[in-house]
Amino acid sequence: MQYIAVFCGSSKGTSSHYARQAAALGRALAMRGLGMIYGGTHVGLMGIAADACLEAGGKVIGVIPEFLKEKNFAHEGLTELQVVRNIHERKRRMNDLSDGVIALPGGYGTMDELFEMLARVQLGLYHKPVALYNIDGFYDPLCFLVKNMVEAGFLKSANQKILWIERDVDKLLDQMIGKLSDPEKDL
pLDDT digits (tens, 9 = 90+) for 25-83: 999 999 999 999 999 999 999 999 999 999 999 999 999 999 999 999 999 999 999 99
Which residue ranges form the domains of the chain, and what is each CATH number?
3-176 (3.40.50.450)
Read off the pTM.
0.93
| DSSP state at residue 105 | S
